[in-house]
Amino acid sequence: MKTKILPFFFLTVMLISCNKSGIYSKFDKLAEDNRWTTSDAKTFEFDIADETQSYDILFQISHVYGYQFANVPINFSMESPDGKKEDFVMDLPIKDSKGKDLGDCSGDICDLVTVVKKKIKLQKGHYKISVSNSFKGPYLPNIIGIGLEVNKAK
């Protein structure tokens, strides 16, 4: 399975590097057992230099093809440069009403990118966004990795 992920990873890196509106992009691959434990909050940190610009914040999730759940409960906590925290929850849809994967699937891996915040103003400074899941069990199964992107809004 590692040999299938490697070409996809390089393609993703190349596409991201060509994105001129990208401010930040990071993808965290989970352990080989593809389990995202409910206690494993991932933290993404980035800096904003231009507060006159609007930004889009996108969440990325990579899962095994044929995912058993239609939605995934995701928690976000965003800390701004002034220390204020904003917490919000998203019931992330993985499949449409007909059961079709919403992500881009290639082989046995599906990648889904969804907008968390669209065209928002961010003050200049350092931001920290923590992402966790609130699945009812001890872990969310068949998750390969998660990531975050911050782009200049179009």
Q: Which one, of 135, 144, 153, lies nearest residue 34 by Cα?
A: 144
Can you give the pLDDT at residue 16? 47
pTM of the entire predicted model: 0.84
Contact 65, 109 (CB under 8 A): yes
Helix (H) or strand (E) holding 9: helix 2-17
Q: At 43, which CATH number?
A: 2.60.120
Per-residue confidence at 5, pLDDT binned at 50, 70, 90?
Answer: low
Question: How many domains does the chain contain in total?
Answer: 1
Residue ranges making up the domain that contains 92: 2-152
pLDDT tens-digit map of 31-61: 889 999 999 999 999 999 999 999 999 999 9
pLDDT tens-digit map of 98-150: 999 999 999 999 999 999 999 999 999 999 999 999 999 999 999 999 999 99
Per-residue confidence at 11, pLDDT binned at 50, 70, 90?
Answer: very low
